[in-house]
């Protein structure tokens, strides 16, 4: 019997029933990343057989596209132009080519980690910290990305839903349900376990590559449905990454906004990776006929920031 779409009231009850507040102590800021142990990492390294590495990141470009909210910036401090004809004294003055880069990585286009300071529910973040600890002037003074300074290294598992269904991509508004995840597990012979980073492919980025960008806020997107939250909780995944912005759009929850964000980041302490590129990874998994791999995610050590652009790399 397929999982029913939960009502808004049911999703709001998840805030209690799936809560990990206090589970790892009242001071904990790591949330579900506590599921990753040194032993888990050591076993993940044993998955490296061929030494092939694969990015899970989209490129970061400065173009304005339909899904741009804030245009990424790249401005050269110095270029290579004119260097072949610079007079000698100018040659000595000029240093390397370099640039300013700037971005709002949250949004619909950049592959990034959401820290547990990114979302709030009723004035609180994960583990009951008050939202006012994230200030305009000082930034995120708790639950911030620098907690991950030593990286996230663990087993990654890819569940490729379009492959399971024999389609190119899921359509806007469609949600991956728990039975989809379990069917993908069976089809691939893999079982999601404690401390895994679960990557769910919907094909959304493949559609973007094939047909150009749409604005998911206006035109919708697939994702794992919030109905999967109890399943994520039971399986004790450490992190969730998807090739969309990680919430089905639109959602019929007027009071919840991005429901999976709220339940994951606030109640479960489940860190998210938004806007992955899982295209090369899906090919690599198919080539190796293996849907598990060592996965390394190394966020920038940005102080007091609610996440980081990342380039997650899978190693086969």
List the interface residues with a second copy, window 50-109 (CB under 8 A): 50-55, 57-62, 64, 68, 70-71, 73-85, 92, 94-107
Nearest partner of 106 among 68, 143, 65, judged by Cα: 68
Among 10, 48, 171, 234, binds a second copy (CB under 8 A): 48
> What contacts 23, CB < 8 A, 6 or more positions away?
34, 269
Query: Whole-number minimum distance, CB 284 to a second copy, in Å?
Result: 10
Residues 244-273 that bind a second copy (CB under 8 A): 254-255, 257-258, 261
- Measured from the CB atom, the residue of 3 and 53 that comes closer to a second copy is 53
Applying CB under 8 A, the span of 164-172, 179-187, 218-226, 304-312 interacting with a second copy comes to: 304-312
187 binds a second copy (CB under 8 A): no
Place of tokens 């008050």: 130
- Measured from the CB atom, the residue of 118 and 163 that comes closer to a second copy is 118
Cα gap 249→182, rounded to integer Å: 23
Among 13, 23, 45, 209, binds a second copy (CB under 8 A): 45
Nearest partner of 307 among 284, 275, 268, 281, judged by Cα: 275
CB 245 within 8 A of CB 205: no
Cα gap 18→20, rounded to integer Å: 6
- Measured from the CB atom, the residue of 13 and 301 that comes closer to a second copy is 301
Cα gap 41→195, rounded to integer Å: 9
Query: Whole-number minimum distance, CB 300 to a second copy, in Å?
Result: 5
Query: Whole-number minimum distance, CB 223 to a second copy, in Å?
Result: 15
Query: Whole-number minimum distance, CB 222 to a second copy, in Å?
Result: 20
For a second copy (CB under 8 A), the number of binding residues is: 103
Long-range residue pairs from 177-184, CB within 8 A, at least 24 positions apart, any chain: 177/2, 177/3, 177/225, 177/227, 177/228, 178/3, 178/227, 178/228, 178/230, 178/231, 179/2, 179/3, 181/228, 181/231, 184/159, 184/160
Report how far apart, in Å, the C-alpha atoms of 309 and of each of 93, 185, 275 are.
33, 29, 10
Query: Whole-number minimum distance, CB 1 to a second copy, in Å?
Result: 33
Residues 217-236 that bind a second copy (CB under 8 A): none
Cα gap 52→147, rounded to integer Å: 28
Nearest partner of 205 among 273, 279, 108, 136, judged by Cα: 279
Query: Whole-number minimum distance, CB 22 to a second copy, in Å?
Result: 20
- Measured from the CB atom, the residue of 17 and 79 that comes closer to a second copy is 79
Residues 107-166 that bind a second copy (CB under 8 A): 107, 111, 114, 117-120, 122-123, 125, 130-137, 139-140, 146, 149-151, 153
Residues 22-41 that bind a second copy (CB under 8 A): 37-41
Query: Whole-number minimum distance, CB 177 to a second copy, in Å?
Result: 25
């Amino acid at each position: 019997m397929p999982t029913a779409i939960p009502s808004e009231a049911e999703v709001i009850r998840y805030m209690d029933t799936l809560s990990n507040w206090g589970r790892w102590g009242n001071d904990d800021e790591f949330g579900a990343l506590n599921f990753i142990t040194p032993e888990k990492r050591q076993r993940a390294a044993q998955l490296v057989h061929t030494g092939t590495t694969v990015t899970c990141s989209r490129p970061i470009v400065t173009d304005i596209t339909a899904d741009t909210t804030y245009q990424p910036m790249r401005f050269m401090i110095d270029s290579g132009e004119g260097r072949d004809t610079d007079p000698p004294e100018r040659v000595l003055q000029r240093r390397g080519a370099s640039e300013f880069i700037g971005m709002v990585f949250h949004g619909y286009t950049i592959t990034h980690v959401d820290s547990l300071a990114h979302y709030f529910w009723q004035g609180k973040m994960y583990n009951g910290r008050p939202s006012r600890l994230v200030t305009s002037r000082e930034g995120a003074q708790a639950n911030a990305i620098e907690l991950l300074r030593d990286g996230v290294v663990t087993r990654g598992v890819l569940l490729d839903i379009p492959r399971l269904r024999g389609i190119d991509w899921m359509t806007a508004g469609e949600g991956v349900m728990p039975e989809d995840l379990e069917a993908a597990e069976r089809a691939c012979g893999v079982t999601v376990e404690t401390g895994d980073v679960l990557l769910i492919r919907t094909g959304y980025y493949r559609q973007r590559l094939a047909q150009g960008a749409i604005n998911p806020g206006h035109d919708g997107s697939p994702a794992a449905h919030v109905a999967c939250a109890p399943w994520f909780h039971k399986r004790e995944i450490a992190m969730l990454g998807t090739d969309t912005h990680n919430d089905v759009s639109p959602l019929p929850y007027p009071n919840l906004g991005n429901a999976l964000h709220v339940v994951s980041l606030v109640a479960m302490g489940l860190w998210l990776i938004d806007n992955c590129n899982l295209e090369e990874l899906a090919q690599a998994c198919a080539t190796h006929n293996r849907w598990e791999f060592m996965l390394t995610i190394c966020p920038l050590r940005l102080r007091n920031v609610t996440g980081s652009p990342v380039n997650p790399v899978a190693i086969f």
